Chain A
Amino acid sequence: MMASSYNAKEEDGHHSGSSTHGGTGAAKNKKPDNTAFKQQRLPAWQPILTAGTVLPAFFVIGLLFIPIGIGLYVTSNNIKEYEIDYTGVEPNTPCYDCANSFTWNSTTSCVCTVNFTLVQPFESNVYMYYGLSNFYQNHRRYVKSRDDSQLNGVQSSLTNPSKECEPYRTNPETKLPIAPCGAIANSLFNDTLELYYNHPDGNMTKVNLVKKGIAWYTDKHVKFRNPGNEKDNFTERFKGTAKPVNWMKPVYELDPLDPENNGFINEDFIVWMRTAALPTFRKLYRIIQKKPDSAPTLPSGRYFLNVTYNYPVRSFDGRKRMILSTISWMGGKNPFLGIAYITVGSICFFLGVVLLIIHHKYDTRSNSADIPN
């Protein structure tokens, strides 16, 4: 129409007029092809959705969805999840002091310990998440404030990060480029969580937290790469860059003990860099592997969560949580899918029944109406 009615009429006269000079013009006086396509007679399947064809579908959907939904719901319910808020908002919570005494420049870390009790033992692998609330990781300014090519180890981007990283692109004092640049990296979650199991006999055991396997495989192995030569040491590879403003240590000291988990390919870092979809989110922090014996991974009982409180959230009314969860084939605990499936399945089934009744009535009516024709 408007945009592209470029068969503009103004030219028509010109065109037709001038083409007549060209001699005979196109020979139009030929019989059109008698092909199925041109005669709009392509063989076609002409489905008619009638009550007769759709009703069984309703029942089938109903009968399929309800069991699936029940299965999902049961699965979700069987997932054990324990969540504890350690923000320290209330005055008599363990981390209240740490939360209140937080300053950006403090050199010492504030540590607080949170007690909790698992009523039921957690079998199989247990996944430890940290959760943040009211944290807009999906804010546009935030989401785009990164340089993927820097994170991919491209040397030029390391020393000259993308403009999108502003205002976390260069160090305001030294003017050195920041690696990793941008607001996302700058706000890396840096609380350290440690879990201790309080044996019934009073002994404390530190629960072994595995920090590998928490990031997407492709992120860790392809998307994120450290710059420079493999053989050089990390200090050399990140030479000429500054640490992010809010970080306490440079990127190459994220995990000094394991070169496979250091620098840009640090999994905590990679997990953080995958921005969350919603302002309340959780991110995988550690994995507690199932023990080889049949003992539960986390037996029921008292636990201590040791928090090195580095991450301020009170300023934006945020909350911090620690979540322990087992995982099923459908992921973490989420009753939504099961309920939704059961609901849709039931609706389908119900509609099927209603329609069957209507259809039955209608059919007899239309049959009788058809006869005179």
Chain B
Amino acid sequence: MLRRRLNRLFGGDEGRVHSRTIYVGHKSCPPNEAYIPPKFCDNRIVSSKYTVWNFLPKNLFEQFRRIANFYFLIIFLVQVIVDTPTSPVTSGLPLFFVITVTAVKQGYEDWLRHKADREVNEYRVSVLEDGRRIRKMSAKIKVGDIVEVEEDETFPCDLILLQSSRDDGTCFVTTASLDGESNHKTHYTVADLESDLQYLSSTIECEQPQPDLYKFVGRMHIYRNSQEPDVRSLGPENLLLKGANLKNTQKICGVAVYTGMETKMALNYQGKSQKRSAVEKSINAFLLVYLFILVSKALVCTTLKYVWQGKHDEPWYNEKTQKEKDTNQYLKMFTDFLSFMVLFNFIIPVSMYVTVEMQKFLGSFFITWDKDFFDPEIQEGALVNTSDLNEELGQVEYIFTDKTGTLTQNNMEFIECCIDGFQYKHGDGSSELDGFCVTDGPVNKIQQKAGREREELFLRALCLCHTVQIKESTMHRQDQIDQIDQIGQIDQVDGLGVDHEFLHPPQKEMGFIASSPDEIALVKGAMRYGFTFLGLESKNMKILNRNKDVETYELLHVLNFDPVRRRMSVMVRSKTGDILLFCKGADSSMFPQVRQEEVERIRMHVERNATEGYRTLCVAYKHLNAQEYARADADLREARLALQDREEKLMAVYNRVETDMILIGATAVEDQLQDEAAQTMEALQGAGMKVWVLTGDKMETAKSTCYACGLFKKNTELLELTLRTLEDGGRSREERLHDLLLEYHKKAVQDAPPVKLGITRSWSVAGHDYGFIIDGASLSMVLSSSSEPNSRRYKNLFLQICQNCTAVLCCRMAPLQKAQIVKLVKNSKGNPITLSVGDGANDVSMILEAHVGIGIKGKEGRQAVKNSDYAIPKLKHLKKLLLAHGHLYYVRIAHLVQYFFYKNLCFILPQFLYQFFCGYSQQPLYDAAYLTMYNICFTSMPILAYSLLEQHICIEVLLEHSTLYRNIAKNAMLRWKLFLYWTALGIFHGLVFFFGVRFLFSNPALQDNGQVFGNWSYGTIVFTVLVFTVTLKLALDTRHWTWINHFVIWGSLAFYVFFSFFWGGIIWPFLKHQRLYFVFANMLSSVSAWLVIILLILLSLLPEILLVVLRKPRGPHARQMKHRLPSSGTSTIFMLSQTASTHSFSWSD
């Protein structure tokens, strides 16, 4: 961010102007003017953060900006400066470890970035200078250079396409590395340029760099023989983005407009806002409690110390040093306070952060490793973009799902069409002469078919009105086929029907590429009815009609699809010179634009199709006479040339042109439900989650999908708040909205049986199920009502209604409205955890807004996946992701957090209590080695293994009984009650440990030879009890003992014993104190010590065991817990073909 800002500064004064001027080929333009080379940044990409020189300071600075690291640094510094009871090593070593590991990791990542940067920057590119081709490093490209790029190369910077090797002045690119969309996109050269770029003399005026990949406005002035310059408009279709690949085109030449850090790709390097999980918030809250405990402990001790010192300040046997005597009293008090803080600081351990982080990082691997998430179709498994939110998956209360591509497959199939009110369905077997089969048209007319002319017009419209491209057979090299198949973007058309095979020999394959699967479905549908789109050749669209004749249309304009207008059009000129406009679009956006006479007949079909769950489009056309066309053409060109507000101007022109059309018919395309969509939804609802469907689709279609998915059931009472219901009753919309909201609120909220929130409300609750339907327009009325108090009230009513409904359907939503809804729910009372799942670019906003964003690796590009936290191939995987993984992760990390606080409380409490017996002198109870190792070695591994492997309920049972998910709803395992329980347990243990040994030491002669034990023996006994108790406590909590758990738990205990022998077995050189020399061995030689250790461990665990017994076996799984499904037949093929390393760094990006 900072760098970007700096770059702006380096860019000089251009930061203030709205556009930049580029001199193509660095030639002065117009030729007679003096050429002042403007200053732009060079094409060096710097994605690395550090250099060799600034790595250490910068990295350290960044690490210590984190509060916890800073806290530990402060503790360490206090230890170094002030005379503290524990050596700086005890906290310095763990801190050093954490910092080093982090630094090494970040350093490594930065090295990778350096490497990648170098690779990019030193890549050789061809630059045309004065007609010669010069190879130079990519980093040296300057704005204005003419760059030549060959097929399959990556564009080194953002280029304006000047010349293409293809005849029609187009080139194809894939932007897979930018937005993940791997379909081929067509880009166009600037029209009418000199064929020899050497003589081109022009300037380009374009906007300042901005990150939107799909927006670009510019203007090119071409100077020829000192005439007035020609002006050409430049749009995104002329701009080749850095990072995209040239495909299907031998080579292109382009002029660099944005370079280096100003390219759109570089500008898009920005982190998403960081999401914090509820568990982390709990941790922070607990931390505050512990910090409070820590400070109060230190305060109590300091106070008592000075009270006590009044009497016992300086006995003769223990005089102060001169320095101590000289120190100021208050300064001493302060340093004493700090010393106590240091002594007790282990209550907030560094290692917890490390362990939590490790748990999250390592735990997320299980998601990517899960073979149930593997989709054979796309050959991909799940993807984890952030490991910070694993446990949030177990806390979801609201699911916002997109419909198309998420609930449905986005795998379109042309089902039927309606021409002039007659329904046509493709008959599979009984194909008539022309492939048409008329099924029962609801309109009983004498003639069963629409006129042949209309039919053909309709099919022509289908063939022409699209942006589909033919995938050329020459391109069908094996690798590309693989890639294409994998993405599922194109459907291979297997022959074109029996009649036409002679025209298309079977060996010639043909494929369609399009940005939307609907279009392919329509083109293929038209093909079934005898009209085949043959392709676009230099602005001429060829179609093969039913009579096997090739018709050619000149493509004049494409009025592109956009989600606001919800339609697209083409203007073509037929052979006969007629100019036709074909338009297709959503019914609601089409009906106002067509002549009204046909509307009713078609509307009926459209609505019927929509209720059946089909996606419908209406098709219309209009003839343009020469004047009309001339005007439209001029308008369009002007709008396209506009530098400012181009979008708005274009939109206005589009709207003007697309009026007064004649409706010919409508199409119905089936979008099949995703596999197991209904089961998934049922499971999620059973788990207590509310499913909201947010879609841009029509209400009827969306509603039928909801029924199909089981979100709405037969007995669900639907509460509708749409434009239709609002317009009923003839009153103003606002009034009606008010009434409806109140009415629904009464129904759904007030009359509903009082059920406890969240936990017990169930889909099976007797009484009414309500479903709520709202559309975009009504929503915006609810959200932005005219008066402020009303608006807030409506919002509340709306939320309350929605929260009491089992399912909510929001249709006709703009992407931003989706995010608004998510935000509304997210910030509602109780701050429920929300999850958004979607597959397309229009879902990105809601994916980013929700607590957890899930991307479906669907067909609408990869933007959703890129912006998501987790990506899964199919909707059905959501069930396992939430019910099994989410549940387990939550339980694991919740236990991890509670356990960590607990074990450090009972670790430090004896040390605190000991202060009362040692004159508040900050004497540590445990040896420094134990203080340091406790969290690092003795007790860290078992909990880590637990938090990775624990399955308190096995996965099959979790999947089978979705209600189990409710047990952990609302952060159930990290509530204050449980936290208090754990704290109380920690305090109890601490008291038992300390006083048990204290009473034993009332006579320190514990050995059978009469010898006595000293303070270090005391500490060692307490510590031994401590280590064993906390480890066994975890063992008691472990419900899933794999060999790893066994190894780690018993291994830790064994290691503790071994270490203690080792630590006490040697007179350590370089150590000032040999405190523990043979202390442990001597302890073990005392029977009393053994007995007290056993007794105290048992006594500590007794309440725990008692609770386990008293606790009722939970849920239906109790009896099934032993039952495990045998692991499914292992496929050795996969095991052979796979190495574990494929995960690489995917977790971090």
Main secondary structure of the interface of A (DSSP, over half): loop
Contact A12:B1148 (CB < 8 A) given known A32-B368, A54-B1109: yes
Q: Which 8 A-B pairs have the closest CB atoms?
A: A3-B353, A187-B317, A332-B1005, A16-B1149, A3-B68, A277-B1018, A38-B369, A13-B269
Asked if A14 is an interface residue, CB under 8 A from chain B, the answer is: yes
Asked if A186 is an interface residue, CB under 8 A from chain B, the answer is: yes
Chain B stretch 988-1026: residues in CB contact (< 8 A) with chain A: 996, 998-1019
- What residue of chain A has the Cβ atom nearest to residue B1065's Cβ? A218
In the bound complex, do residue A278 and residue B998 qualify as a contact, i.e. CB atoms below 8 Å apart? yes
Bound-state CA distance A197–B998 (Å) is: 35
In the bound complex, do residue B1088 and residue A38 qualify as a contact, i.e. CB atoms below 8 Å apart? no
Asked if B1077 is an interface residue, CB under 8 A from chain A, the answer is: yes
A sample of 10 more A-B contacts (CB under 8 A), given A140-B924, A325-B1005, is A4-B357, A7-B1147, A13-B270, A21-B243, A28-B1146, A38-B365, A183-B319, A216-B1082, A331-B1003, A336-B1000
A361 neighbours in B (Cβ, 8 Å): none
Contact A33:B918 (CB < 8 A) given known A278-B998, A315-B315, A316-B312: no
Give chain A nearest CB distance to B92 CB in angstroms: 15
Say which one of A112-120, A142-150, A249-257 lies at the interface with B. A142-150
Asked if B321 is an interface residue, CB under 8 A from chain A, the answer is: yes
In the bound complex, do residue B1039 and residue A47 qualify as a contact, i.e. CB atoms below 8 Å apart? yes
In the bound complex, do residue B109 and residue A11 qualify as a contact, i.e. CB atoms below 8 Å apart? yes
In the bound complex, do residue B1095 and residue A31 qualify as a contact, i.e. CB atoms below 8 Å apart? no
In the bound complex, do residue A136 and residue B918 qualify as a contact, i.e. CB atoms below 8 Å apart? yes
Asked if B413 is an interface residue, CB under 8 A from chain A, the answer is: no
In the bound complex, do residue B1008 and residue A330 qualify as a contact, i.e. CB atoms below 8 Å apart? yes
Contact A55:B1091 (CB < 8 A) given known A29-B380, A40-B951, A135-B317: no
In the complex, 28 of the A-B residue pairs with CB atoms within 8 angstroms, ordered by the A residue number, are A3-B72, A8-B106, A9-B271, A19-B116, A31-B374, A31-B1137, A32-B381, A38-B1140, A48-B1118, A49-B1109, A50-B1113, A65-B1095, A129-B1005, A138-B918, A139-B923, A142-B921, A147-B1072, A183-B318, A219-B1078, A223-B1078, A278-B1001, A278-B1018, A282-B1012, A327-B1010, A331-B1087, A332-B1010, A341-B1095, A344-B1098
Asked if A337 is an interface residue, CB under 8 A from chain B, the answer is: yes
- What residue of chain A has the Cβ atom nearest to residue B1089's Cβ? A331
Bound-state CA distance A83–B730 (Å) is: 105
Bound-state CA distance A168–B319 (Å) is: 9
Asked if A194 is an interface residue, CB under 8 A from chain B, the answer is: no
A294 neighbours in B (Cβ, 8 Å): none
CB-contact partner of A51 in B368, B1045, B1109, B1137, under 8 A? B1109
What is the total number of residues of chain A having a CB less than 8 Å from a CB of chain B? Answer: 127
Contact A49:B1036 (CB < 8 A) given known A16-B1149, A138-B923, A334-B1000: yes
Asked if B154 is an interface residue, CB under 8 A from chain A, the answer is: yes
CB-contact partner of A18 in B47, B1071, B1106, under 8 A? B47
Bound-state CA distance A3–B101 (Å) is: 12
A141 neighbours in B (Cβ, 8 Å): 318, 320, 921
Chain B stretch 45-73: residues in CB contact (< 8 A) with chain A: 45, 47-49, 62-63, 66-69, 72
Say which one of B228-236, B291-299, B789-797, B1128-1136 lies at the interface with A. B1128-1136
CB-contact partner of B1109 in A15, A50, A187, under 8 A? A50
In the bound complex, do residue B1017 and residue A15 qualify as a contact, i.e. CB atoms below 8 Å apart? no
A36 neighbours in B (Cβ, 8 Å): 1127
Asked if B119 is an interface residue, CB under 8 A from chain A, the answer is: yes
Asked if A89 is an interface residue, CB under 8 A from chain B, the answer is: no
Contact A21:B1041 (CB < 8 A) given known A26-B1144, A331-B1006: no
In the bound complex, do residue A164 and residue B368 qualify as a contact, i.e. CB atoms below 8 Å apart? no
Bound-state CA distance A167–B314 (Å) is: 13
CB-contact partner of A6 in B106, B284, B1128, under 8 A? B106
Asked if B383 is an interface residue, CB under 8 A from chain A, the answer is: yes
In the bound complex, do residue B1005 and residue A331 qualify as a contact, i.e. CB atoms below 8 Å apart? yes
Contact A282:B1003 (CB < 8 A) given known A15-B112, A143-B923, A316-B316: yes
Chain B 1037-1079 interface 0/1 with A at a Cβ cutoff of 8 Å (1 = within)? 0011111110000000000000000000001000111100110
Asked if B131 is an interface residue, CB under 8 A from chain A, the answer is: no
Asked if B195 is an interface residue, CB under 8 A from chain A, the answer is: no
Give chain B nearest CB distance to A250 CB in angstroms: 19
Give chain A nearest CB distance to B1085 CB in angstroms: 10
In the bound complex, do residue A144 and residue B1073 qualify as a contact, i.e. CB atoms below 8 Å apart? yes
Give chain B nearest CB distance to A178 CB in angstroms: 13
Say which one of A90-98, A230-238, A300-308, A347-355 lies at the interface with B. A347-355
In the bound complex, do residue B1011 and residue A39 qualify as a contact, i.e. CB atoms below 8 Å apart? no
In the bound complex, do residue A337 and residue B1000 qualify as a contact, i.e. CB atoms below 8 Å apart? yes
CB-contact partner of A329 in B106, B922, B1000, B1087, under 8 A? B1087
B1077 neighbours in A (Cβ, 8 Å): 218-219, 222-223
Chain B stretch 315-341: residues in CB contact (< 8 A) with chain A: 315-323
Give chain B nearest CB distance to A13 CB in angstroms: 4
In the bound complex, do residue B918 and residue A337 qualify as a contact, i.e. CB atoms below 8 Å apart? no
Bound-state CA distance A144–B83 (Å) is: 12
Asked if A166 is an interface residue, CB under 8 A from chain B, the answer is: yes
B1128 neighbours in A (Cβ, 8 Å): 34
Bound-state CA distance A148–B1066 (Å) is: 13
Give chain A nearest CB distance to B667 CB in angstroms: 34
- What residue of chain A has the Cβ atom nearest to residue B117's Cβ? A18
Give chain A nearest CB distance to B576 CB in angstroms: 49
Asked if A107 is an interface residue, CB under 8 A from chain B, the answer is: no
Chain A 240-284 interface 0/1 with B at a Cβ cutoff of 8 Å (1 = within)? 000000100000000000000000000000010011111101111
A348 neighbours in B (Cβ, 8 Å): 1102
In the bound complex, do residue A46 and residue B1078 qualify as a contact, i.e. CB atoms below 8 Å apart? no
In the bound complex, do residue B85 and residue A140 qualify as a contact, i.e. CB atoms below 8 Å apart? yes
In the bound complex, do residue B116 and residue A18 qualify as a contact, i.e. CB atoms below 8 Å apart? yes
CB-contact partner of A330 in B66, B888, B1002, B1091, under 8 A? B1091
In the bound complex, do residue B119 and residue A7 qualify as a contact, i.e. CB atoms below 8 Å apart? no
Chain B stretch 918-953: residues in CB contact (< 8 A) with chain A: 918-919, 921-924, 949, 951
In the bound complex, do residue A46 and residue B1122 qualify as a contact, i.e. CB atoms below 8 Å apart? yes
In the bound complex, do residue B317 and residue A17 qualify as a contact, i.e. CB atoms below 8 Å apart? no
B949 neighbours in A (Cβ, 8 Å): 40, 42, 44
Give chain A nearest CB distance to B564 CB in angstroms: 29
Bound-state CA distance A275–B1135 (Å) is: 61
Contact A1:B357 (CB < 8 A) given known A152-B1067, A284-B1011, A331-B1088: yes
Asked if B786 is an interface residue, CB under 8 A from chain A, the answer is: no
CB-contact partner of B371 in A3, A27, A31, under 8 A? A31
In the bound complex, do residue A54 and residue B1004 qualify as a contact, i.e. CB atoms below 8 Å apart? no
In the bound complex, do residue A223 and residue B368 qualify as a contact, i.e. CB atoms below 8 Å apart? no
Bound-state CA distance A287–B1009 (Å) is: 10
Give chain A nearest CB distance to B357 CB in angstroms: 4
B1007 neighbours in A (Cβ, 8 Å): 331
- What residue of chain A has the Cβ atom nearest to residue B1036's Cβ? A49
Bound-state CA distance A26–B1139 (Å) is: 12
Asked if B200 is an interface residue, CB under 8 A from chain A, the answer is: no
Bound-state CA distance A283–B1127 (Å) is: 64
B113 neighbours in A (Cβ, 8 Å): 11, 14-15, 18
A312 neighbours in B (Cβ, 8 Å): 316
In the bound complex, do residue A274 and residue B357 qualify as a contact, i.e. CB atoms below 8 Å apart? no
In the bound complex, do residue A164 and residue B1072 qualify as a contact, i.e. CB atoms below 8 Å apart? yes
In the bound complex, do residue A22 and residue B119 qualify as a contact, i.e. CB atoms below 8 Å apart? yes
In the bound complex, do residue A277 and residue B1147 qualify as a contact, i.e. CB atoms below 8 Å apart? no
Asked if A156 is an interface residue, CB under 8 A from chain B, the answer is: no
In the bound complex, do residue B1000 and residue A33 qualify as a contact, i.e. CB atoms below 8 Å apart? no
B323 neighbours in A (Cβ, 8 Å): 166
Bound-state CA distance A316–B316 (Å) is: 8
Bound-state CA distance A332–B1001 (Å) is: 10
Bound-state CA distance A9–B266 (Å) is: 16
In the bound complex, do residue B955 and residue A40 qualify as a contact, i.e. CB atoms below 8 Å apart? yes
Give chain A nearest CB distance to B735 CB in angstroms: 48
- What residue of chain A has the Cβ atom nearest to residue B1035's Cβ? A47
Give chain A nearest CB distance to B1123 CB in angstroms: 10
Asked if A179 is an interface residue, CB under 8 A from chain B, the answer is: no
Bound-state CA distance A22–B123 (Å) is: 11
Asked if B379 is an interface residue, CB under 8 A from chain A, the answer is: yes
Asked if B378 is an interface residue, CB under 8 A from chain A, the answer is: yes
